[in-house]
């Protein structure tokens, strides 16, 4: 029971914090943060591209801590630089504010690599199955703010080692958050995987209606519920371009 109460409190806190930050953020700055210093000069297909190079200023991403602190840092290897997320019994994410219409610009894409999955068993429907399973090595969020804030909607793309690809789950603590399994299994663990999604189509499939404007994107790696370690890497996030 204590675990259930703790998880529900954390889950509700995540939703409320995301919503309050989005609606409290000054509108003029929100609208003007489409092209920032961490976007390398190139011909953009859409609103923004994040390459997480050595010039990247992570302070432009808002950090939100829910249970312990995940270490987000820029690292490099022989192939270049990337964003590394290392979680040890922690849950925190980083959020970037931007604005675009998914009607005219429905495409988003990113690369991610799972270094280590959180230690959780295959999904089994038990009384506390959600608490046990709601840890993911890699998450990518697209957030659709609405007023009042509790009507906010969100697509959460995850890489899970057990759930089949394209599974859609409704968060039991917040029905306006839909989890979509964008990558499944351990076959590609340790490899860069490119994901491209049509968020307009995904939204209609998940919610049964057309989406409003996008207000933010977010990244999160977590392992607090499993009390374990998870690590993932992210790169080449591009959002808001046409088909």
For the chain, the domains span 2-241
Q: What is the DSSP letter of 59?
A: G
| pLDDT score of 135 more than 60 | yes
Tell me the pLDDT tens digit for each residue of 55-85: 888 999 999 999 999 999 999 999 899 999 9
Span 2-241 CATH architecture: Sandwich (2.60)
Question: Which residue do the tokens 């929100």 mark?
Answer: 30
- pLDDT band of 22, cuts 50, 70, 90: very low
Measured CA to CA, the distance from residue 55 to residue 46 in angstroms comes to: 21
């Amino acid at each position: 029971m204590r675990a259930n109460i703790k998880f529900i409190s954390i889950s509700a806190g995540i939703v409320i914090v995301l919503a309050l930050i989005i609606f409290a953020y000054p509108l003029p700055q929100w609208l003007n943060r489409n092209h920032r210093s961490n976007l390398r000069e190139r011909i953009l297909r859409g609103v923004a591209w994040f390459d997480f190079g050595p010039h990247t200023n992570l302070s432009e991403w808002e950090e939100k801590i829910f249970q312990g602190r995940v270490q987000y840092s820029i690292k490099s290897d022989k192939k270049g630089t990337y964003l590394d997320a290392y979680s040890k019994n922690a849950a925190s994410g980083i959020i970037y504010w931007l604005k675009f219409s998914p009607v005219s610009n429905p495409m988003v894409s990113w690369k991610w690599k799972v270094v280590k999955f959180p230690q959780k068993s295959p999904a089994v429907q038990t009384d506390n199955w959600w608490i046990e399973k709601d840890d993911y090595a890699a998450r990518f969020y697209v957030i659709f703010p609405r007023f009042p804030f509790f009507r906010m909607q969100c697509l959460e793309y995850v890489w899970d080692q057990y759930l089949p690809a394209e599974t859609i789950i409704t968060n039991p603590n917040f029905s306006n958050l839909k989890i979509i399994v964008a990558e499944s299994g351990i076959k590609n663990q340790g490899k860069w995987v490119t994901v491209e999604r049509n968020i307009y189509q995904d939204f209609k499939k998940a919610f049964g209606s057309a989406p409003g404007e996008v207000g933010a994107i977010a990244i999160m790696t977590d392992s607090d519920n499993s009390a374990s370690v998870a690590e993932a890497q992210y790169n080449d996030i591009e959002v808001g371009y046409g088909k």
